[in-house]
């Protein structure tokens, strides 16, 4: 389990409470279900539920952050990066999303540098 995924267990309830006022009951339910799937290590289910939650709650930074974590767990790094960028764009005060974005950008830069030919 990644460090980002471990944070979900402790932050899951607080984020769910924040999300409860965001919009539809279905979106909130899917967010909670996707978060539980992440806690269980079920990345495919987490992606499915959180993608649906993101469609229903398009302005939720918390949903986008967890979607990024789910994408990362599923090996979809480019999608994870995009989700974290959206999360930060929606709420620049979302510290978890900021940390996840910085870590993903650092990993992306490292991978890109490794692909460059040696001089």
Q: Tens digits of per-residue pLDDT, 64-117?
A: 999 999 999 999 999 999 999 999 999 999 999 999 999 999 998 888 888 777
Whole-model pTM: value is: 0.78
For the stretch 108-119, pLDDT in tens is: 888 888 877 766
Burial class (CB in 10 A: 0-12, 13-18, 19+), 107: middle
Instruction: Tell me the domains of the chain and their CATH numbers.
Output: 3-115 (1.25.40.10)
- pLDDT bin (cut points 50, 70, 90) of residue 17 is very low
**Integer Cα distance of 16 and 92 in angstroms:** 19
């Amino acid at each position: 389990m990644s460090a980002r995924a471990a944070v979900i267990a402790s932050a899951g309830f607080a984020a769910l409470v924040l999300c409860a006022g965001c919009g539809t009951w279905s979106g909130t339910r899917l967010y909670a279900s996707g978060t539980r799937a992440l806690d269980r290590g079920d990345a495919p289910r987490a992606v499915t539920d959180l993608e649906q939650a993101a469609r229903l709650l398009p302005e939720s930074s918390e949903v986008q952050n967890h979607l990024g974590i789910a994408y990362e767990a599923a090996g979809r790094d480019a999608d994870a990066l995009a989700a974290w960028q959206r999360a930060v764009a929606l709420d620049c005060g979302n510290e978890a999303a900021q940390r996840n974005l910085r870590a993903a950008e650092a990993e992306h830069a490292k991978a890109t540098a490794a692909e460059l030919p040696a001089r």
